[in-house]
């Protein structure tokens, strides 16, 4: 242009800014263009401001976005809805809802009335911080102020409910949306489709696809990618292949997102080899890696806890100029937890608490649950306090994890504090909560109190699970109340629950503690008759029971019968038990 004597206009520069913004990793070039525009006396317009702020949002440059905005207003620029909405989106996507709220207030103070886009970004900010009900309430606020919620508004909240496992609320809002005359778009259908997939409801997914077609909303590439993403369960890699073929038959060739989804789906199926092969196919097809690709690989590695390989992926990601995002760090934390690498969790934790990584609701929640998997009480408490100090709202999963870890560490007052906080935050205890409470009372020796909770669940219309019954049985067995344990077992089987190895081993432990050795033989005999093979722990508890009663000869006789009971049982283990028994005899 310049060689031909033409001077770039504001539109020209805006287009260049947009190109650099979408390219990514171009902040220095954007700053260079802005300086050039100032030297030429070109005044920024709304498009300029939105483009620059949006570019910051794509790269997670929150401080840069804020500094640019403050610099504009300090020079007398009066931002409009477009600029404010762009800034709100940046902080909303980062989950910094407090900053988003301050932007909304500034808009109102400057007589810049929020529009539908503003409210949509506010909803997104709320749900990213875990405030789902507050996000849903924005829909009512919009209606009161004369701004009708659109498909984007509803979809954002529906998607948030789905992620929070509040499927009933999501479906209710979906039906309310249609009842008010707001037509769902393909994104809405995709959000509900993904939610149904997570609940493993294939029939409902098919019905929804039919509804999409009947309403004139054609499934798009994202719909197919969602189908692929939802079929990624362990042992279902053949189904992934089937959906992939159907997608191609419908004329959709895989793009980079499809490959990323396939890598992630194969990873969830437990097929890391297929995930790696799909990555190779993606590169061969001419697609380059992006943050999503790396996250898909991290997801596959997190499933198996290969944190060393995951760290190599993170290193390669940084070396190629990509900045790990919230999902990257969340997956890395989960990978360390799966691999039992507490030091790896603590390393990321220090970066988060030192604000080198933004302490979002998702990351702090992930730290709590990862430390719970590793039984790291101190790590859980640190993350829980950070969650509260940052003004985030814990969900029921977090409260249940805290209650459980306190109960396991005999910190009963702290466990009861969590129960109080569940109610205080307007949440309803679920079966996981009650199972943790029963476990707490079992550990305290208050087995009758544990049974009271079991009965309360039944009276309220709830359905105890196998864990519930096993916990109460364990409580009675620990106190030597074997008849009461048998009574609970009878109730359990009457309600259709089949005893598992844990149930039987609990009874063996109870009888061994009381020296009721013949009953141990009866339990083991009953196990084999009911197709529940005793494991090493079963025999170890039994032999220890004999030795505790100083019945060493009977213990040796019992060991000699093991191979008769189970011909496939490891003979070397039997020999080790026999050696230990002889050692007890001579000690």
Helix (H, G, I), strand (E, B) or coil at 324: coil
Q: Is the four-CA dihedral 118, 124, 130, 132 of positive or negative sign? A: positive
Are 383 and 371 within 8 A, CB to CB? yes
CB atoms within 10 A of CB 6: 9
pLDDT(272) > 80: no
pLDDT(171) > 80: yes
Q: Is the four-CA dihedral 124, 127, 131, 133 of positive or negative sign? A: positive
- Average pLDDT on 500-525 reads 92
Backbone angles phi, psi at 341, to 5 degrees: -95, 85
Are 475 and 490 within 8 A, CB to CB? no
For residue 363 the two structure tokens come to 């990351």
Q: What value, to the nearest 5°, has the Cα angle with vertex 159 and ends 157 and 164?
A: 95
Q: What is the pLDDT of residues 327-342, one digit of tens each?
A: 999 999 999 999 999 9
pLDDT(235) > 70: no
Q: What is the pLDDT at residue 257?
A: 81
Q: What is the pLDDT at residue 146?
A: 83
- Average pLDDT on 138-166 reads 84
CA 4/CA 528 separation, integer angstroms: 91
pLDDT(169) > 90: no
Q: Is the four-CA dihedral 203, 208, 214, 220 of positive or negative sign? A: negative
pLDDT(233) > 70: no
The proportion of the chain whose per-residue pLDDT surpasses 70, expressed as a percent, equals: 96
CB atoms within 10 A of CB 549: 15
Helix (H, G, I), strand (E, B) or coil at 354: coil
pLDDT(434) > 90: yes
Q: What is the pLDDT of residues 25-78, one digit of tens each?
A: 788 888 999 998 988 888 899 999 999 998 888 888 888 998 999 998 888 888
- Average pLDDT on 143-149 reads 84
- Whole-model pTM: value is 0.61
For residue 582 the two structure tokens come to 């002889």
Nearest Cα to 310, choosing from 297, 324, 323, 292? 297
State the chain's mean pLDDT as an integer: 87
- Average pLDDT on 400-413 reads 93
Q: What is the pLDDT at residue 226?
A: 77
CA 36/CA 25 separation, integer angstroms: 19
Q: What is the pLDDT at residue 136?
A: 83
Q: Which CATH code of 1.25.40, 1.20.1050, 1.10.3470, 2.30.30 fits the domain covering 499-587?
A: 1.25.40
pLDDT(254) > 90: no
The proportion of the chain whose per-residue pLDDT surpasses 90, expressed as a percent, equals: 38
Are 263 and 297 within 8 A, CB to CB? yes
What's the fold here for domain 393-484?
1.25.40
| CATH class (in words) of the domain with range 1-149 | mainly alpha
Q: What is the pLDDT at residue 5?
A: 66
The rounded Cα 158 to chain-centroid distance in angstroms is 17
Q: What is the CA radius of gyration of the chain?
A: 30
Are 478 and 450 within 8 A, CB to CB? no
CA 83/CA 117 separation, integer angstroms: 11
pLDDT(270) > 80: no
- Average pLDDT on 334-354 reads 95
Are 298 and 269 within 8 A, CB to CB? no
pLDDT band at 396 (very low <50, low <70, confident <90, very high): very high
| Ranges of CATH 1.25.40.10 domains, the chain | 1-149, 393-484
Sequence-separated (6 or more) residues with CB below 8 Å from residue 136? 157, 161, 169, 173
Longest dimension (CA), the chain: 106
pLDDT(535) > 60: yes
Q: What is the pLDDT of residues 43-57, one digit of tens each?
A: 899 999 999 998 888
Q: What is the pLDDT at residue 232?
A: 60
Q: What is the pLDDT at residue 204?
A: 81
CA 18/CA 33 separation, integer angstroms: 11
């Amino acid at each position: 242009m310049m060689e031909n004597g033409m001077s770039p206009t504001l539109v020209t520069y805006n287009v260049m800014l947009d190109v650099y913004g979408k390219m990514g990793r171009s902040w220095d070039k954007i700053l260079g263009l802005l300086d050039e525009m100032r030297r030429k006396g070109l005044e920024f317009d709304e498009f300029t401001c939105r483009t620059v702020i949006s570019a910051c949002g794509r790269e997670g440059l929150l401080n840069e976005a804020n500094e640019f905005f403050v610099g504009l207003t300090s020079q007398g620029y009066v931002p409009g809805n477009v600029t404010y909405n762009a800034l709100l989106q940046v902080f909303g996507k980062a989950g910094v809802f407090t900053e988003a709220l301050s932007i909304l207030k500034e808009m109102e103070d400057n007589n810049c009335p929020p529009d539908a886009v503003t409210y949509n970004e506010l909803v997104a900010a709320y749900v990213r911080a875990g405030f789902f009900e507050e996000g849903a309430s924005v829909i009512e606020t919009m209606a009161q102020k004369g701004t009708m919620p659109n498909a984007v508004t509803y979809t954002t909240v529906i998607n948030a409910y789905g992620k929070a496992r509040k499927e009933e609320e999501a479906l209710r809002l979906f039906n309310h949306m249609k009842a008010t005359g707001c037509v769902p778009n393909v994104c809405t259908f995709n959000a509900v489709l993904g939610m149904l997939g997570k609940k493993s409801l294939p029939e409902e997914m098919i019905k929804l696809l039919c509804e999409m077609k009947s309403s004139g909303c054609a499934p798009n590439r994202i719909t197919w990618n969602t189908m692929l993403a939802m079929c990624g369960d362990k042992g279902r890699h053949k189904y992934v292949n089937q959906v992939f073929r159907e997608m191609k038959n419908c004329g959709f060739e895989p793009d980079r997102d499809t490959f990323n989804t396939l890598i992630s789906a194969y990873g969830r199926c437990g097929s890391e080899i297929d995930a790696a092969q799909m990555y190779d196919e993606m590169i061969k097809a001419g697609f380059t890696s992006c943050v999503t690709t790396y996250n898909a690989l991290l997801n596959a590695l997190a499933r198996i806890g290969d944190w060393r390989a995951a760290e190599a992926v993170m290193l390669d990601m940084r070396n190629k100029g990509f900045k790990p995002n919230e999902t990257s760090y969340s997956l890395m934390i989960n990978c360390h937890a799966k691999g039992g690498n507490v030091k790896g969790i603590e390393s990321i934790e220090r970066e988060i608490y030192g604000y080198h990584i933004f302490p979002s609701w998702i990351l702090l929640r992930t730290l709590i649950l990862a430390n719970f998997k590793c039984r790291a009480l101190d790590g859980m408490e640190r993350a829980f306090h950070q969650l509260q100090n940052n003004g985030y709202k814990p969900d029921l999963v977090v409260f249940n994890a805290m209650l459980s870890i306190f109960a396991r560490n005999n910190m009963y007052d702290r466990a009861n504090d969590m129960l109080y906080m569940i109610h205080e935050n307007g949440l309803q205890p679920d079966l996981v909560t009650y199972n943790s409470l029963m476990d707490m009372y079992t550990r305290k020796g208050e087995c009758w109190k544990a049974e009271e909770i079991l009965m309360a669940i039944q009276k309220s219309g709830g359905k105890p699970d196998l864990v519930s019954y096993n916990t109460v049985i364990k409580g009675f067995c620990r106190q030597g109340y074997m008849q009461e344990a048998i009574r609970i077992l009878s109730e359990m089987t009457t309600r259709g629950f089949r005893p598992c190895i844990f149930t039987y081993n609990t009874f063996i432990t109870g009888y061994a503690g009381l020296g009721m050795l013949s009953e141990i033989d009866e339990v083991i005999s009953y196990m084999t008759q009911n197709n529940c093979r005793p494991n090493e722990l079963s025999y170890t508890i039994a032999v220890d029971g004999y030795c505790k009663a100083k019945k060493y000869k009977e213990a040796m006789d019992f060991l000699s019968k093991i191979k008769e009971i189970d011909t496939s049982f490891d003979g070397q283990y039997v020999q080790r038990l026999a050696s230990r028994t002889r050692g007890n005899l001579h000690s």
